[in-house]
Structure 1
Amino acid sequence: MCGRYAATANPGELVEEFEVEQDRTAEPARSVMARPQSPPPGTPDYNMAPTKQAPVVLSRVPRSTSKGSAEDTKERYAEGAPPVRQLRLLTWGLVPSWAKDTKVGMRMINARAESVLEKASFAKAAATRRCLVPAAGWYEWQKSPTVKDAKGKPRKQPFYTHRADGHPIAMAGLYEFWRDKSVKDNDDPDAWLTTFTIITTEAEPGLDRIHDRQPLILEPEDWATWLDPTMQDLDEVKRILSFHQPGRFEAYPISTAVNATGNNGAHLLDPVPESELEGVVDPMTGEVIGGEPPEEVSPEETEQGRNPQ
């Protein structure tokens, strides 16, 4: 799964990198957080976590100016108008339009590429509401095959994964609109909650020694097709969902400071010196660093851990 990532760019940088036509990150948007988000939404966040508002790239056909019911406002399009690429702040954790409340979002921070078109919670969004989630890189936690923590469980070592070429990452995602029927005014920002999920796929060789899943990372040549809401060819959607290109990423162990969502800042990306590692499996070689482990460990033997929440 992908349950934490680094969103280090500011809106201006994302507008340029993703060729965004409308920067709408300054618009008021409903939040599900009980306390103010820190760092504030739309600013660099080195520890992006579920329920936070994050910058997301999507394309929308302009809404029609004709009158309609409150329930269909978000889906009325201007006839013949082309989609417009936008940058918006969306809440991480997808809430389907039919959900009774927003709590379901915490269970839908990820969607599996292999089944997203069959799952009722994601199928409609996969057909028409696809997005890109910009990131510098993502975090995963590896279970040690040799070292245990104070509770007698395998020690979890956080890793940071990023593109080897230094370019930003575009994680494939889906987004949804949820209407709060208790808010009568359809134009009230609190009437609508816009949420997203990150699509995951099978981890590539090497990264599978950290975790068995990774975000689906798309290349620029597929961005326009993926974002186009008028492109509803499911065979083409399946093609993109099955995209696999190993060798693009580098991963290294970092401090356990990232475990606490309240910690933030560029220092979270600093690599941990090899001398401080305990029972950590090198993703590339399979060798265990720290202690006296076997010479090589297979991906299965690492008993991949999940992101501690």
Structure 2
Amino acid sequence: MCGRFTLHATIEELFDQFEIDQLFAEYQPRYNIAPGQNVLAIIHDGQKKRAGYLKWGLVPGWAKDPKIGYKMINARSESAHEKPSFKKLLTSRRCLIIADSFYEWKREGKQKQPKRIAPKGRHLFAFAGLWDKWSNEKEDLFTCTILTQDANEFMKGIHDRMPVILPKDKESEWIEPRKWSSEEASQFLAQVGMEELHAYDVSDYVNSAKNEGEACIAPLL
């Protein structure tokens, strides 16, 4: 799964890496992004890439209660095309969720050791995501979920699942406004491959979503 990540790149780095041109007046570096919070995402509107914020935790447009979003922070890429919540989104509401690392907790006896993980040789990357719009008389919610897959050999020693990290040359292809079937979108994810990762231990300071700042990513001595 993916339940916490970071994004503390500069705006200039974001512009350069993802070929976007908006200014993010509200952008701030984040070291402990958690479910229920806003995440920086990129979609394609049919003419160009657009960057903005989505709330992490998918609320399907048909949901009766938006609280369902807290149960839908992740979607299994292998079976998303079979699920009512994700099937239609795979065809037309695909997004990139921008990060520069993610956290996972490795069980060591009775304890869980938090680790910061990222692809080797990449400062910025994108998770494959899905988004949707939910509305009632009072508000519109734009929400998202991160797609996951079985762990690769590196991650198996930490957790049995991991987020789908798109290779750089597959990012634009994922969000292009082509009309894939849900099965074709799932097949695309199954074939993108997995990049080499690296990890290091961090303090349990990161365990609380209330904690922020560089202390979250400081290597544990």
Q: TM bucket by the smaller chain?
A: over 0.9
Name which of 75, 78, 85 aligns with 2:49: 85
Write the distance in 1 (CA, Å) between the matches of 2:24 and 2:143: 14
**Corresponding residue of 1:115:** 79
Write the distance in 1 (CA, Å) between the matches of 2:83 and 2:124: 29
Write the distance in 1 (CA, Å) between the matches of 2:145 and 2:166: 15
1:160-200: per-residue Cα shift (whole Å, max 9, x none)?
101210331210000001112x23xxxxxxx3110000000
| Gapped regions of structure 2 (runs ≥ 5) | none
The within-5 A match list for 1:205-216 is 205-216=153-164
Name which of 135, 138, 153 aligns with 1:179: 135
**Corresponding residue of 1:250:** 198
**Corresponding residue of 1:3:** 3
Write the letter of the residue equivalent to 1:199: L
Runs of 4+ in 1 over 6 A off after TM superposition: none
The within-5 A match list for 1:127-166 is 127-145=91-109, 154-166=110-122
SS in structure 2 of the partner of residue 126 of structure 1 = helix
SS in structure 2 of the partner of residue 156 of structure 1 = strand
Write the letter of the residue equivalent to 1:170: A
1:50 aligns with 2:14: no
If each structure's strand is expressed as a fraction of its own residues, which one has the higher value? 2
Q: What's the offset of the Cα at 1:243?
A: 3.4
Please tell me whether the aligned partners of residues 25 and 89 of structure 1 are also in contact (alpha carbons under 8 angstroms): no
SS in structure 1 of the partner of residue 153 of structure 2 = coil
1:241-279: per-residue Cα shift (whole Å, max 9, x none)?
103534521011110000011111122112212xxxxxx
Name which of 44, 58, 72 aligns with 1:59: 44
Taking every aligned residue pair, what percent have the same amino acid on both sides? Answer: 37
Write the letter of the residue equivalent to 1:155: Q
**Corresponding residue of 1:17:** 17
The two structures, once aligned, show a CA RMSD in angstroms of 1.7
| Gapped regions of structure 1 (runs ≥ 5) | 27-40, 62-82, 146-153, 184-190, 274-309
Higher relative contact order (CA 8 A, sep 6+): 2
Name which of 164, 168, 171 aligns with 1:220: 168
